[in-house]
Amino acid sequence: MSGVTPPSPARSNPYAVAILLAGVYGLSFLDRQLLSILAEPVKADLGLSDTQLGFLSGLAFALFYSIFGIPVAMLADRSNRVRIVAAACALWSLFTATCGMAQTFAQLALARVGVGVGEAGGSPPSYAIIADYFPPEKRAGAMAIYSLGVPVGTTAGAALGGWIAAEHGWRWAFVAIGVVGIVYSLIVVTAVREPQRGSFDSSPGKQQPLAATLGFFIGDPVLRRAAFAAGLSAFVGYAMLSWTPALLMRTKGMDLGELALYYSLVSGITAAIGTLFSGHLVDRLGQHDRRMYGFVPAAAFFISIPFYAAGVFVSSWEWALVLMSVPFAFYAAYLPPTLAIVQNRVAPSQRSTASSILLLIMSLIGLGGGPLYIGAISDAAAGAGAASSLQIAMFALAPVFALAALMHVSVARALARGGDHEEVAGPR
């Protein structure tokens, strides 16, 4: 398959396409994380509890993101994926701007629901587009480029969102970011061409009903374990990203201006390096040992645990950032290999749908559970009289790092027992 030279001019610059789609992902993550960056001023203005903040940061978004993800992905498997991605970007950006107009918890929750509905159409079609621009042995690296949207979005959210909020208030931050997303959606639909499906694969496969794709996904031990490992990994990532800004401001004396500069730089640069390194390392090592698709993210999570725990409890935000730079570098290391596993193991005609199943699991476990988990523990600890309730809640995330690592080890073992990551194994 890797020797196929696609005739379509739509493939003339695959890396440019990956970068443009990474920009879409970055905007989605920026919109997703902006509330976390601005948690303290939003909480003060609207009179919210930590549990309500956790709900708005996670579950309110995740439920509708998950519900709409599969039908939109099925549409993408049958129609123009580029147009779906661009339309989704415009829709969620519109609702991001609407967040800045909310006056109550309920209004902000409804706007967050709209963001979730829009973002449901972003990633699954993008994964499938990238898979049709790159051969299997280069997909982890390509997915690493796409996954740079996570640190880029996080950095932009902290830097741009924090600066606008400091100068003009948190409401204008939401409005400005929303306008940027609408403009970018026009660039994507103009610049990215729809590729031919499956030209790097032996056969694109025929269209399958949802039940067939879901049955294959659940029945395949590699996909099943990879999805659960990704869910636990997302739990860690979303919880950490959602609450670290509040931890730094509430317990370590960092102000919004310092957050916009130092937090954005440290979290963004380290995460970008870790994500790219993970993807290219897996591409290189995975050619000789397919278990590396599980062992690399497992090692990343195990290494992160002591640095994360120390970063939660040190008193200064400067030392906290130094220590937390390690988990920031590694929290998204699972994304490139996991995305490559899914794209390589299903038929090209099922890629968007299979990706939406993966994201459904990641969203319900990770995005729906992670931020709410921290918020609920923080409120419970505060109710019990704990002086540092948020630190206690953040420390309670450390065992989940270990669970995620162990689950990625399980993925490696499943890959060793059966399933070639370079061959399409999905339903035909």
User: For 341-394, how does the pLDDT look when each residue is reduced to its tens digit (9 = 90+)?
Assistant: 998 888 887 888 888 899 889 988 998 889 889 989 999 999 888 878 999 999
pLDDT one-digit tens code per residue, 78-91 = 889 999 999 999 99
Is pLDDT of 54 > 90? no
C-alpha–C-alpha distance, residues 307 and 270, integer Å: 14
Average confidence score pLDDT of the chain: 87
User: The tokens of 255 are what?
Assistant: 């102000």
User: The tokens of 3 are what?
Assistant: 């020797």
**What pLDDT is recorded for position 365?**
92
Report percent pLDDT > 90 for the chain.
51
Is pLDDT of 400 > 60? yes
**What pLDDT is recorded for position 59?**
78
Average pLDDT score over residue span 58-71: 83
Average pLDDT score over residue span 410-420: 84
**What pLDDT is recorded for position 419?**
53
Q: What is the 3-state secondary structure (H, E, C) of 375-412?
A: HHHHHHHHHCCCCCHHHHHHHCCHHHHHHHHHHHHHHH
Average pLDDT score over residue span 304-322: 96
Position with higher pLDDT, 339 vs 158: 339
User: The tokens of 417 are what?
Assistant: 């027992």
Least-confidence region, from 93-102, 210-219, 243-252, 287-296: 210-219
Is pLDDT of 20 > 90? yes
- Report which residue type is found at 87: A
Q: What torsion do the CA atoms of 85, 89, 91, 94 make, to the nearest 10 degrees?
A: -170
**What pLDDT is recorded for position 380?**
94
C-alpha–C-alpha distance, residues 191 and 204, integer Å: 25
State the Cα angle at 41 between 38 and 47, rounded to 5°. 120
User: The tokens of 185 are what?
Assistant: 């959606």
Position with higher pLDDT, 23 vs 54: 23
CATH code assigned to 12-197+209-417:
1.20.1250.20
Average pLDDT score over residue span 97-101: 95
Least-confidence region, from 167-171, 204-208, 395-399, 422-426: 422-426
Is pLDDT of 231 > 90? yes
Of 330, 328, 343, 290, which Cα lies nearest the Cα of 134? 343
**What pLDDT is recorded for position 10?**
43
**What pLDDT is recorded for position 178?**
95
